[in-house]
Amino acid sequence: MTILGIETSCDETSAAVVREGRLLANVTATQVFHSQYGGVVPELASRAHQRRIIPVVEESLLKAGVSKKELDGIAAVYGPGLIGAILVGLSFGKSMALGLGIPFVGVDHMEAHIFSNLIDDPKPAFPFVSLTVSGGHTQLVLVKGPFEYDLLGETKDDAAGEAFDKVAKMLGLAYPGGPLIDKYSREGNSSFVSFPRPYLEEGSLEFSFSGLKTSVLYYLRRTGYKPGPGGVVATESNDKLRADLCASFKAAVVDDLVEKAISAAQKTGVKQIAVSGGVSANSELRRRMQEAAARRGLQVFIPKFEYCTDNGAMVAMVGYTKLQSGQTSSLELTAEPNLSFS
């Protein structure tokens, strides 16, 4: 069985081909031009997807050595995400499936992130705890089997990746800010500022990062580093200060993510944790999660960097697994930008 997967939920146009559970090709075009605006501009993202969807799909098929006639199904994300962006990939996927007379599978973007750890070996065995951390979402899920989930906790406000980007803007860093905070923090002192850890009630597996983000802002104001136009800090040239602030903020976020992921594994009795989403590329999170898990006899799985951010491979893997079990979607399926994970 050969499946084409399409991902256009935000600012990556991606397509991948999976045959018999093995990835043959994954092609992604990232919209880097959004950095000049300090964030993703939805309308511009949609237009870029329209320009790129055909070349990206064609390149993925070419790299895989697969013709359209060899496809047995097409999968595309239908939510959550930016509605205009989702519609490009969803409409293209449904139209292509209709034209070829093959099944179509709608894919939940968050479910696809869980499957990013099932692309390459080694893979976690069911059941496992999944921590998905991205610019738009932060959630813990008990994955009991393919398409069997229990939502354990999620963010009540900002996602971790969103907090990274907003704090980066306060520090005068470009978008996307997460990778830059990770970069500069490596030269900084994580104990420079003890930012509050965003804990809720005792035993909770929910997340909250808005208070931490505000704490950084208040620290900058209190110490005289007032944000100027566009959120640029007046003393951004002070490399040491910038590094220390990046390290201190990152430590607070990572502390919370690691502690709750470990707690989720212990509460559910599972021995494996899978981390996914764009923030899973963060060097500190990867290191700390591995160390904390090893101390407790747990295994951690984190995908290759290319599968951390949005990609077609994870969508194709969901589509392949669903079609294997006979699950398909109607061609009347519509985009759901606020799709809830359940």
Give pLDDT, residue 14.
98
Which residues lie below 8 Å from residue 342, measured CB to CB, with a gap of 6+? Answer: 149, 151
User: How buried is residue 300: exposed, middle or buried, by Cβ count under 10 Å (0-12/13-18/19+)?
Assistant: buried
Find the range with the poorest average confidence among 176-180, 234-238, 289-293.
234-238
Global pTM reads: 0.92
pLDDT of 199 > 80? The answer is no
pLDDT of 290 > 80? The answer is yes
Give pLDDT, residue 197.
84
Centroid of chain to Cα 137: 7
Percentage of the chain exceeding pLDDT 70: 95
CATH code where residue 238 lies = 3.30.420.40
257 and 312 inside one domain: no
Structurally, the chain folds into a number of domains equal to 2
46 and 135 inside one domain: no
* DSSP letter for each residue of 306-317: GGTSS-HHHHHH
161 and 258 inside one domain: yes
For 34, other C-beta atoms within 10 Å of its C-beta total: 18
CA gap 55, 194 in Å, rounded: 48
158 and 237 inside one domain: yes
pLDDT of 118 > 50? The answer is yes
Q: What are phi and psi of 163, to 5 degrees?
A: -65, -40
pLDDT of 238 > 70? The answer is no
143 and 292 inside one domain: yes
pLDDT of 234 > 90? The answer is no
What is the sign, positive or negative, of the torsion defined by CA atoms of 263, 268, 269, 271?
negative
| Residue 263 domain-assigned (yes or no) | yes
Query: pLDDT category, 35, cuts 50, 70, 90?
Result: confident
User: How buried is residue 17: exposed, middle or buried, by Cβ count under 10 Å (0-12/13-18/19+)?
Assistant: buried
Give pLDDT, residue 228.
46
Give pLDDT, residue 230.
44
Query: pLDDT category, 323, cuts 50, 70, 90?
Result: very high
User: How buried is residue 46: exposed, middle or buried, by Cβ count under 10 Å (0-12/13-18/19+)?
Assistant: middle
pLDDT tens per residue, range 201-217: 778 899 999 999 999 99
128 and 221 inside one domain: yes
Mean pLDDT value across residues 305-327: 97
| Residue 45 domain-assigned (yes or no) | yes
262 and 174 inside one domain: yes
219 and 288 inside one domain: yes
CA–CA distance from 133 to each of 90, 215, 283 (Å)?
A: 24, 21, 13
Give pLDDT, residue 303.
95
**Contact (CB, 8 A) for 258 and 288:** yes
157 and 24 inside one domain: no
Percentage of the chain exceeding pLDDT 90: 80
Q: How many residues belong to the chain?
A: 342
pLDDT of 241 > 90? The answer is no
| Residue 330 domain-assigned (yes or no) | no
CA gap 130, 152 in Å, rounded: 10
| Residue 33 domain-assigned (yes or no) | yes
| Residue 342 domain-assigned (yes or no) | no
Give pLDDT, residue 171.
86
The residue range of the domain holding 133 is 123-302
* Beta bridge mates, 272: 299
| Residue 239 domain-assigned (yes or no) | yes
175 and 246 inside one domain: yes
197 and 292 inside one domain: yes
**Contact (CB, 8 A) for 100 and 69:** yes
pLDDT tens per residue, range 44-68: 999 999 999 999 999 999 999 999 9
User: How buried is residue 191: exposed, middle or buried, by Cβ count under 10 Å (0-12/13-18/19+)?
Assistant: exposed
| Residue 311 domain-assigned (yes or no) | yes
pLDDT tens per residue, range 256-278: 999 999 999 999 999 999 999 99
Percentage helix, strand, coil for the chain under 3-state DSSP, each rounded to 5: 45, 20, 35
**Contact (CB, 8 A) for 141 and 149:** yes
Give pLDDT, residue 239.
76
Amino acid in position 302:
I
| Residue 332 domain-assigned (yes or no) | no
129 and 203 inside one domain: yes
pLDDT tens per residue, range 219-230: 988 887 654 444
Which residues lie below 8 Å from residue 221, measured CB to CB, with a gap of 6+? Answer: none
Mean pLDDT value across residues 229-234: 45
